[in-house]
Amino acid sequence: MKFIFLGPPGAGKGTLAAKVAEEYKLPHISTGDIFRAAIKNQTPLGIKVKAIIDSGALVSDDITIELVKDRLSQDDAQNGFILDGFPRTIPQAEALAGIVAIDAAVNFDIADDAVIERLSGRRVCKGCGKNYHVKFMPPKKDGLCDDCNGELYTRDDDKIESIKNRLVVYRKQTAPLIDYYRSKNLLTDIDARPATEAVLAEFRTKFPLK
């Protein structure tokens, strides 16, 4: 199966993609990983990407599409894959359609207020980097890590204003993409609000392993 995973920050998309990839024996391909691999391997495109990122600019659609095309041509992606973080725009989706026919775009659907609750409640240990959540996975002692007693803090991108900005960008970019795949009868909505195992169970029901 050839999947595209869509979902706002905080939908748990990365966690779900990793679990589905393992269970369905598919490569989990994210644009971030593609960029890092190309830079590390110093491919011609990787050298170009590094120069763009170092300058603080955004990698263009043309280069991103070229990198994705190259990644999808590799042996491990021939029987299927999970694309995470690509496409982000209609032009990228149209370019992808010219490279490969996907089986389903899976939209992990979650309301903005649930995203804000999830992300704004996240706390990270300054000492060992362990993650907590004030509501869903609180530490034993308020503000301190269970493992190393380090101080817990809120990352800048988990502050409410930052989350709201990220959601505005996501909704603006991705709402048209959801409509695009729905119009082609390729979109499947999955409720991303429950715990990971429940979301995974719904995924298995909608896409049973053959």
Catalytic site positions: 13, 88, 122, 155, 166
| Cβ pair 155, 199 in contact under 8 A | no
Quick one: which of 113, 67, 73, 114 has its CA closest to 86? 67
What's 120-182 look like in SS3?
HCEEEECCCCCEEECCCECCCECCECCCCCCEEECCHHHCHHHHHHHHHHHHHHHHHHHHHHH
The radius of gyration of the chain from alpha carbons, rounded to an integer in Å, stands at 18
Total H helices, total E strands in the chain:
8, 8
